[in-house]
């Protein structure tokens, strides 16, 4: 398995332009939130639902987040610990929105998802480089870690 540093270094190569970086800071979290929202909308088998306690639902979104966190922990425990509260907050916000809106959650996610991907592709057009996931689909999971690593650097956390 490649190291986190290797993934992040390669990801950074196509994310050098300040506008592309700024768009990624906006769009990557929105895309992740939307994916969690889409997964939240998928009906959950009763066996998975009964696995959860009353305080936290077990569904496809929580299963995906836990799976992503396990993958991130294999790459870097400190980065996984940093991104965990963000992902958990996203699940909580999706759950709260799903319970309080009158339009379907998937429709909200669809609009935001399309807009965020347009932003991503605009950023890469400005950068003049193709998105990393065209080379390896795993880069779709690296984007959030790249942002967390950027926060760690900004605050001197290594």
Q: What is the dihedral of CA 99, 101, 107, 111, to 10 degrees?
A: -120
Q: What angle do CA 64, 116, 135 make, to 5 degrees?
A: 70
The secondary structure of residue 55, as a DSSP letter, is S
Instruction: Write out pLDDT tens, residues 77-100.
Output: 999 999 999 999 999 999 999 999
Instruction: Write out pLDDT tens, residues 112-144.
Output: 999 999 999 999 999 999 888 888 788 899 999
| 64 neighbors 35 (Cβ within 8 angstroms) | yes
* This model's pTM is above 0.85: yes
Residue boundaries of the structural domains of the chain: 26-40+57-154
């Amino acid at each position: 398995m490649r190291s986190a540093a290797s993934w992040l270094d390669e990801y950074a190569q196509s994310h050098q332009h300040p506008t592309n970086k700024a768009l990624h800071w906006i769009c990557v979290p929105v895309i992740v939130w939307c994916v969690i929202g889409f997964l939240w909308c998928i009906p959950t088998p009763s066996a998975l639902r009964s696995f959860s306690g009353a305080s936290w639902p077990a569904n496809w979104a929580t299963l995906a987040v836990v799976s992503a966190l396990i993958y991130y922990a294999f790459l870097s425990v400190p980065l996984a610990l940093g991104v965990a509260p963000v992902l958990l907050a996203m699940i909580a916000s999706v759950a709260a929105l799903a319970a309080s809106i009158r339009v379907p959650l998937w429709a909200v996610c669809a609009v935001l998802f399309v807009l965020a991907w347009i932003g991503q592709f605009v950023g890469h057009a400005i950068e003049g480089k193709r998105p990393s996931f065209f080379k390896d689909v795993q880069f779709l999971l690296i984007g959030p870690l790249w942002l967390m690593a950027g926060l760690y650097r900004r605050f001197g956390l290594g």
